[in-house]
């Protein structure tokens, strides 16, 4: 069983790498060449990923426990959410170029975190799966928003500098990216809020008021996303500023996950 | 001798519009022309007719008379004066050159705007029209269907269709890049002027709502009527700017019309909704400092023209790569065409030998009272003998394909073995999946 798990993990990682590379090719060279295989390869990768999770669950612990499982779930969630979102409009297809690397990054993080994935028993509670699940869904939403925001910033910059070459031609319209990002952030924000509150008060009461870098990152992400939404509603902030806020928010959320991986692998 | 291809036509490269529009044929007229062409000669024929070209592709046994007939068909549609100007406008290509021309036309390499997408549809239309007129045969059929594949290759493997090249289409393309769907978006046209109106029209055509502001109310009404928009008073400029998504400015003012002060107010009212300013006035209407304000995208005439130039240069670059693809494809179809004369002869020769051997075996089998099994064994042996005997002569024939003496060798073979005259062409070979090479139909 263990070789199966290892093999599937490796296969999934390779498939994601391939999909990410193909998306980058289609971003730079256009979706007509080799890039047209990006989406099918990504679907294949997701299938492998599901198989990996299934086999791993049978062989291992229950899912959603420990940072490794959370990260693999996250990575799959991002991919599935993207694949679903692109069903609704081919226009955002190219966002795969930004999202697939994020999914790959999470999967790699899971690989690092695999060695130690037992959650210490004193923080194990009935609410732990809820806490992890809600946060994971939130991060998936933010990852989608991050992809859109990155594309927005790149495209806006090219438009301002009047560099309207290959990549510019292939990105979706600014307005589409802006709306997509907003929707993803408004979806992720309540989830993140519940996630943080559940973490502070129910799951982690022992460490709750001891501000670790992880808590700092979580708080920063929350403040940033709150700012993005609030300023948009109150002052109509959108476009570049909202996109930069979204990117920073996602990076902070990423910081939380990095913190978990480091703690669980004993680096810190 | 297989039929030769011939192309007689004229295009925007060689003929003025007045002549082209006289010769353009469509629907029934095209069918009539094709029928008249094929009357009596039993040749294939296809007519490509667009506003930029009229071309007749045909197969013939006699290239010279075919050219004359084609010319006569075209001249019949013209007055005497026009016939004279036709003289210098016609181009005539035969064989490989005709195929190359077709491939270049279908790939939009010969178009007025290189890379434009309509031409492929028009070539397909010509193909269908010839089919329904009954003048499509195996040779032109293969050349045309190959031309579609070549066009697709050129389109996907080179950047020939990328980037727009006119100011008004660049403006609407950029607007789409910023706002996505333009339907229901508000476009404000400031001032009059040909280029501004053209850009406004092309935006209004995509479903945007157009408003026109001008210092003179009459002019605003006039321009609005022409472009399909609503006139607005000049005093409403600021409030219209607050609502607009795209502003095209082409006034004749010699001072900035959209100053930073005005824009600051406008932006405050817009709550950071992005605004796309297109300044096609010379001297400029929009203070260039406006371009660095948040949520403002400003393009002036030079910016737009630079984009057009870049896109054109890119297309020219892509056209070079496209010509190489055409070269390869022409070489492939030529290789196939060279075997056309040969294949029927080879087939006939094999059939003739097999016929003799099988006939003799059948007679002997009856006399000798052979069992089915033994007879089959004999037949196999006979086939093997035929194959061995024919191996050398067939190899020599194939080797000469395309050489000048090939026709003589074919004629000699046919005479020696009494094979008669060749009938129709053999079926076109299919492409082996993935190989990209033609599969030889004889092996």
A-interface mutation test, from B158, B161, B177, most A Cβ less than 10 A away: B177
Worst-scoring range by mean pLDDT, A63-72, A89-98, B24-33, B220-229? A63-72
Asked if the model's pLDDT at residue B307 lies above 50, the reply is yes
Residue B431: phi and psi, rounded to 5, are -80, 135
| Mean pLDDT value across residues B54-62 | 89
A231 close to B (CB below 8 A): no
- Please judge whether B163 and A164 are an interchain contact, meaning their C-beta atoms are less than 8 angstroms apart: yes
Q: Are residues B153 and B227 in the same domain?
A: no
The helix (run of H) or strand (run of E) holding residue A95 is none
From the list B127, B19, B25, the residue with the least C-alpha distance to B11 is: B19
Q: Are residues B11 and B152 in the same domain?
A: yes
Query: What ipTM did this prediction achieve?
Result: 0.71
Distance CA B421, CA B419 (A): 7
Distance CA B443, CA B437 (A): 15
Residues of B in contact with A240 (CB under 8 A): 294-295
Beta carbons of B422 and B341 less than 8 angstroms apart: yes
Q: Which of B163, B176, B273 sits opposite A173 (nearest CB)?
A: B176
Output the pLDDT for position A208: 47
Q: Of B266, B294, B322, which residue constitutes the final position of a domain?
A: B294
Structural domain includes residue B320 = no
Q: Are residues B137 and B183 in the same domain?
A: no
From the list B304, B328, B309, B252, the residue with the least C-alpha distance to B283 is: B252
Distance CA B240, CA A86 (A): 36
Output the pLDDT for position A207: 53
Q: Of B107, B131, B157, which residue constitutes the final position of a domain?
A: B157
Output B322 or A74, whichever has higher pLDDT. Answer: B322
Output the pLDDT for position B189: 92
| A233–chain B nearest CA distance, Å | 10
- Please judge whether A238 and B307 are an interchain contact, meaning their C-beta atoms are less than 8 angstroms apart: no
Output the pLDDT for position A33: 66
- Please judge whether A32 and B174 are an interchain contact, meaning their C-beta atoms are less than 8 angstroms apart: no
B-interface mutation test, from A166, A175, A244, A245, most B Cβ less than 10 A away: A175
Q: Are residues B125 and B60 in the same domain?
A: yes
Q: Are residues B21 and B145 in the same domain?
A: yes
**Residue B430 CB neighbour total at 10 angstroms:** 9
Q: With cut-offs at 50, 70 and 90, classify the pLDDT of residue B439.
A: very low
Domain segments of chain A as ranges? 2-264
The helix (run of H) or strand (run of E) holding residue B419 is none
Structural domain includes residue B235 = yes
Q: Are residues B98 and B140 in the same domain?
A: yes
- Please judge whether B295 and A164 are an interchain contact, meaning their C-beta atoms are less than 8 angstroms apart: no
Beta carbons of A174 and A183 less than 8 angstroms apart: no
Q: Which of A162, A176, A236 sits opposite B272 (nearest CB)?
A: A236
Output B74 or A265, whichever has higher pLDDT. Answer: B74
Q: Three-class SS of residue B253? A: coil
With b for 16 or more beta-carbon neighbours within 10 A and e for fewer, the B303-341 pattern comes to: bbeebbebbbebbeebbeebbebbeebbebbeebbbbbb
What pLDDT, in 10s, does the model give residues A43-73? 898 898 888 888 877 776 554 556 777 788 8
Distance CA B9, CA B45 (A): 13
What pLDDT, in 10s, does the model give residues B419-428? 876 554 444 4
Number of folded domains that form chain B? 2
- Please judge whether B157 and A33 are an interchain contact, meaning their C-beta atoms are less than 8 angstroms apart: yes
How far is residue B315 from each of residues A32, A34, B318, measured CA to CA in Å?
17, 21, 5
For residue B105, the enclosing domain spans 4-157
Structural domain includes residue B347 = no
Structural domain includes residue B238 = yes
Q: Are residues B286 and B250 in the same domain?
A: yes
Output B168 or B67, whichever has higher pLDDT. Answer: B67
Q: Beta B91-94 vs B45-49: how paired, if at all?
A: unpaired
Output the pLDDT for position B275: 93
Q: Are residues B102 and B241 in the same domain?
A: no
A88 close to B (CB below 8 A): no
- Please judge whether A159 and B295 are an interchain contact, meaning their C-beta atoms are less than 8 angstroms apart: no
For residue B300, what is the nearest residue in chain A, using CA coordinates?
Answer: A162
Which residues are CB-contacts of A109 (< 8 A; sequence separation ≥ 6)?
A67, A71, A257, A258, A261
From the list B77, B150, B68, the residue with the least C-alpha distance to B109 is: B150
Catalytic residues of B: 51
Q: Are residues B90 and B195 in the same domain?
A: no
- Please judge whether B297 and A160 are an interchain contact, meaning their C-beta atoms are less than 8 angstroms apart: yes
Q: Are residues B12 and B152 in the same domain?
A: yes
Six-digit token pair at B237?
């400029």
Residues of B in contact with A90 (CB under 8 A): none
Q: Are residues B149 and B172 in the same domain?
A: no
Helices (H) and strands (E) counted in chain A, each on its own, are: 9, 0
Q: Which of B155, B159, B178 sits opposite A174 (nearest CB)?
A: B178
Which regions of chain A are under pLDDT 50? 63, 115-117, 208, 268
Q: Of B260, B294, B328, which residue constitutes the final position of a domain?
A: B294
Q: Are residues B112 and B174 in the same domain?
A: no
- Please judge whether A236 and B273 are an interchain contact, meaning their C-beta atoms are less than 8 angstroms apart: yes
Asked if the model's pLDDT at residue B295 lies above 70, the reply is yes
What is the torsional sign of CA B404, B405, B409, B411? positive
Output the pLDDT for position B431: 44
Residues of A in contact with B269 (CB under 8 A): none
What is the torsional sign of CA B15, B21, B23, B28? positive
Output the pLDDT for position B424: 46
**Residue B84 CB neighbour total at 10 angstroms:** 10
Q: With cut-offs at 50, 70 and 90, classify the pLDDT of residue B432.
A: very low
Output the pLDDT for position A117: 46
């Amino acid at each position: 069983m263990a070789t199966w798990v290892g093999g599937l993990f490796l296969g999934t990682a390779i498939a994601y790498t391939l999909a990410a590379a193909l998306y980058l090719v289609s971003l730079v060279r256009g979706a007509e060449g080799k890039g047209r295989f990006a989406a099918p390869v990504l679907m294949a990768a997701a299938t492998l990923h599901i198989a990996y999770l299934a086999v791993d669950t049978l062989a291992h612990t229950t899912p959603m426990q420990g940072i490794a499982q959370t990260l693999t779930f996250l990575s799959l969630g991002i991919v599935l959410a993207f694949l679903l979102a692109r069903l609704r409009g081919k226009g955002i297809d190219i966002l795969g170029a930004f999202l697939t690397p994020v999914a790959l990054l999470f999967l790699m993080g899971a690989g690092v975190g695999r060695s130690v994935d037992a959650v210490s028993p004193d923080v194990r509670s009935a609410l732990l799966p809820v806490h992890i699940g809600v946060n994971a869904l939130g991060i998936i939403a933010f990852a989608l928003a991050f992809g859109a925001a990155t594309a927005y910033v790149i495209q806006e910059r090219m438009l301002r500098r009047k560099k309207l070459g290959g990549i510019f031609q292939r990105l979706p319209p600014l307005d589409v990216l802006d709306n997509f990002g907003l929707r993803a952030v408004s979806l992720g924000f309540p989830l993140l809020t519940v996630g943080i509150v559940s973490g502070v008060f129910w799951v982690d009461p022992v460490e709750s008021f001891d501000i670790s870098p992880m808590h700092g990152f979580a708080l920063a992400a929350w403040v940033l996303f709150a700012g993005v939404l609030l300023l948009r509603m109150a002052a109509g902030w959108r476009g570049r500023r909202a996109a930069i806020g979204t990117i920073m928010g996602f990076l902070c959320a990423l910081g939380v996950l990095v913190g978990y991986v480091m703690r669980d692998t004993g680096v810190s | 001798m297989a039929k030769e291809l011939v192309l007689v036509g004229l295009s925007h490269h060689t003929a003025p519009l007045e002549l082209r529009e006289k010769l353009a044929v469509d629907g029934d007229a095209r069918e009539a022309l094709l029928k008249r062409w094929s009357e009596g000669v039993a040749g294939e024929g296809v007519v490509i007719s667009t506003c930029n070209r009229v071309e007749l592709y045909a197969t013939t046994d006699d290239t010279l008379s075919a050219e004359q007939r084609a010319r006569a068909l075209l001249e019949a549609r013209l007055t005497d004066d026009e016939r004279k100007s036709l003289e210098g406008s016609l181009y005539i290509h035969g064989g490989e050159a005709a195929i190359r021309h077709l491939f270049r036309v279908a790939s939009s390499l010969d178009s007025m705007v290189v890379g434009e997408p309509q031409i492929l549809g028009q070539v397909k239309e010509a193909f269908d029209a010839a089919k329904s007129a009954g003048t499509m045969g195996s040779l032109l059929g293969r050349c045309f269907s190959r031309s579609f594949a070549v066009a697709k290759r050129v389109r996907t493997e080179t950047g020939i269709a990328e980037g727009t090249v006119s100011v008004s289409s660049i403006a609407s393309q950029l607007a789409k890049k910023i706002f996505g769907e333009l339907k229901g978006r508000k476009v404000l046209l400031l001032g009059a002027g040909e280029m501004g109106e053209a850009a406004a029209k092309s935006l209004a055509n995509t479903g945007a709502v157009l408003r026109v502001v001008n210092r003179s109310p009459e002019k605003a009404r006039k321009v609005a009527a022409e472009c399909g928009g609503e006139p607005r008073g000049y005093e409403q400029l600021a409030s219209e700017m607050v609502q607009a998504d795209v502003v095209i400015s082409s006034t004749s003012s010699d001072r900035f019309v959209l100053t930073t002060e005005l824009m600051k107010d406008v932006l405050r009212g817009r709550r950071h909704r992005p605004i796309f300013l297109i300044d096609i006035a010379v001297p400029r209407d929009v203070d260039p400092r406006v371009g660095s304000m948040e949520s403002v995208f400003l393009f002036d005439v030079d910016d737009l023209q630079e984009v057009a130039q870049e896109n054109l240069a890119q297309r020219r670059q892509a056209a070079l790569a496209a010509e190489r693809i055409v070269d390869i494809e022409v070489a492939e179809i030529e290789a196939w065409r060279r075997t056309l004369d040969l294949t029927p002869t080879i087939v006939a020769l094999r059939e003739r030998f097999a016929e003799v051997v099988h006939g003799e075996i059948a007679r002997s089998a009856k006399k000798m009272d052979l069992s089915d099994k033994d007879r089959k064994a004999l037949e196999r042996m006979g086939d093997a003998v035929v194959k061995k005997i024919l191996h050398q002569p067939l190899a020599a024939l194939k080797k000469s394909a395309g050489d000048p003496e090939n026709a003589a060798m074919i004629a000699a073979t046919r005479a020696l073995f009494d094979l008669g005259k060749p009938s129709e062409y053999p079926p076109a070979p299919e492409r082996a999946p993935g190989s990209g090479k033609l599969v030889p139909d004889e092996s």
